[in-house]
Chain A
């Protein structure tokens, strides 16, 4: 690994100052499970690595049934899925957190880091989109909020400007008869990169037979994770049945502009969008029928 300097600031002000004033290339380290590999393999360069795990705001895990979830950007995946309240209210997030790498990776890797790495195939991002989460970013000009679906701008690229830092992901509260699911297709059981990933969240009516509101996020089907807006909006007011899920899957395929690579052809990936939209909607609706906000 090439040489670099290391800093572990303990306040946001100190961190943004370091990020802003450094003359060379600066990389942020949270769990390190992507960045250390990239630095070692020469895929990214750093003159300074800023470890953000000591910033209290980035370690915050604050959940309330009325206000939703505030997830610090450096909270590791294992801490997210070990929290039973989060598992009940944000199941798509937990589905994703449980399949990012193996247990050793999940002990270190954070959801915020997964988002900032900005891989088109990142598992947490379609789940974040489905949950309607937004990013709280702090920088030299102050604080700004960005919806997750607008955060990534290309493979490995995002909206963070020099001096800026992702502080937290903020989730709206989950309501009664509302739930979600994330699934990806991979050729083996564990430890693989999504060929396609899909997160869906639904809000049902009181009788649990009609979808009132839905959001579908897709991964590995374009240069950035996508919000399947047309499919999501079309589902509002539709019966919660297989025909609706199939139709939503067909509409979701419209946002897919996948590449062909060794993991799958573009045609195969597009086909998988339909399959996974249907599966995640089915699971989300089943879960929503029994979920009541405490």
Chain B
């Protein structure tokens, strides 16, 4: 197999990932809302504080989820994996294949509900586990994992550390 078959153009995430993120935002804002709302209700007798906090945090989270999806892209290049993402802080990461230690495909409970998976790329760097690509269909995650594995092996990296 040729390296040319493994590399690809800039790819975007599966649109369904927005729902995953929105749901995650809903869960965390629900927790936050209860944490703030319960004492507000019991101590100060303000029942509307909790829902207000929930609504506020949820709106911010959901908006971020939509923008995050729009911004996210990754590209399997010839020598490195390139990620471009981030709403508040825009981050572009270059991961040379020689540095890849291993690649995981993981599926959280919410992701499973939507039929999505995440590919996590580990390097020996101090920010190793930082490099993960969410919002992939299981097939694409497996395919990506396989491609990165082949590319990492082909990169012939001795003495990574």
A interacts with B: no
Binding site for A on B (CB under 8 A): none
